[in-house]
Amino acid sequence: MRNKYCLGTLCVGGVYVHVLFDSGATHSFVIPEVVSSFKGIFTRVKVRVSIRTPRNHNLHAVSCVLGIPIHVGSMVYPADLLVVPLGQHEVILGMDCLSRYYTQLNCGRGRITLEEKGQPSTKYYGICPSSGVSLVSALRVKKDLIKGEVYLVTLTTLGGDLKEGTQLEEIPVGEKYSGIISSSLQAGPRPSGPR
């Protein structure tokens, strides 16, 4: 069975969060902890929406945040997000948002293409889910960073053409720092705190 979703890290409401692009979800969601971190002014309205998860659990949304900016490259795609305590993900973008921006998901390659009428399309390369990849939320990473248990590296390209399957050494900044990144990954995290 092929995946119906892609994963990635995007700036949502001024905060970088773990986002699931899920064509199997009818609505888009955000966890309360992320909403409390949003930067800027936004509108929050009361709603009464029941959601049934794929595992037959019922979740209840009592509020929705409207027009939250989602930054993908140089474009901004506003979305309405139901506030729900989710398990693994901080934000889920469902079909309400994906269809609004004529989104194409190529989950095998981790590529998401969004379009808005009259604007050029935007391609975003997220993560191809596989059984060998372990993903954690940004909130968990923050806790682990405080403990000194994690190295977190994110490479983002803006502009230019990046072909699928591009290796770290082929990206100019990646080539320049590949030795540092490789040696850091092999050495593991350094202890944090007072020395």
User: What pLDDT, in 10s, does the model give residues 43-83?
Assistant: 999 999 998 887 888 888 999 999 999 998 888 999 999 99
Number of domains in the chain: 2
Max avg pLDDT among 34-38, 113-117, 165-169: 34-38
Name the nearest CA neighbour of 53 among 81, 95, 25.
25
> 160 and 128: one domain?
no
Mean pLDDT of 30-53: 92
Distance, in Å, from the CA atom of 19 to the CA atom of 16, rounded to the nearest integer, reads: 9
For the chain, percent of residues with pLDDT exceeding 70: 63
pLDDT value, residue 81: 97
Establish if 195 belongs to a structural domain. no
Establish if 49 belongs to a structural domain. yes
> 21 and 101: one domain?
yes
Lowest mean pLDDT among 18-27, 81-90, 111-120, 127-136: 127-136
Tokens of 7: 């994963």
Give me the CATH number covering residue 105: 2.40.70.10
Distance, in Å, from the CA atom of 149 to the CA atom of 145, rounded to the nearest integer, reads: 6
> 63 and 18: one domain?
yes
Domain holding 130, by residue range, is 5-139
For the chain, percent of residues with pLDDT exceeding 90: 33
Establish if 131 belongs to a structural domain. yes
> 128 and 155: one domain?
no
> 15 and 99: one domain?
yes
> 82 and 129: one domain?
yes
Q: How confident is the model at residue 1 (pLDDT cuts 50, 70, 90)?
A: very low
Establish if 144 belongs to a structural domain. no
Mean pLDDT of 158-173: 60
> 131 and 157: one domain?
no
Give the dihedral of Cα atoms 175, 179, 183, 186; nearest 10 deg.
Answer: 50
> 135 and 155: one domain?
no
> 73 and 96: one domain?
yes
Establish if 192 belongs to a structural domain. no
User: Looking at the DSSP assignment, which residues form a beta bridge with residue 63?
Assistant: 46, 83
Label the pairing between strands 15-22 and 5-12: antiparallel
pLDDT score of 24 more than 80: yes
Max avg pLDDT among 74-78, 130-134, 138-142, 160-164: 74-78
> 70 and 37: one domain?
yes
Residue type at 93 in one-letter notation: L
Establish if 11 belongs to a structural domain. yes
Summary mean pLDDT of the chain: 77
> 110 and 167: one domain?
no
* Span between the terminal Cα atoms of the chain, in Å: 50
> 85 and 155: one domain?
no
Lowest mean pLDDT among 19-23, 66-70, 167-171: 167-171
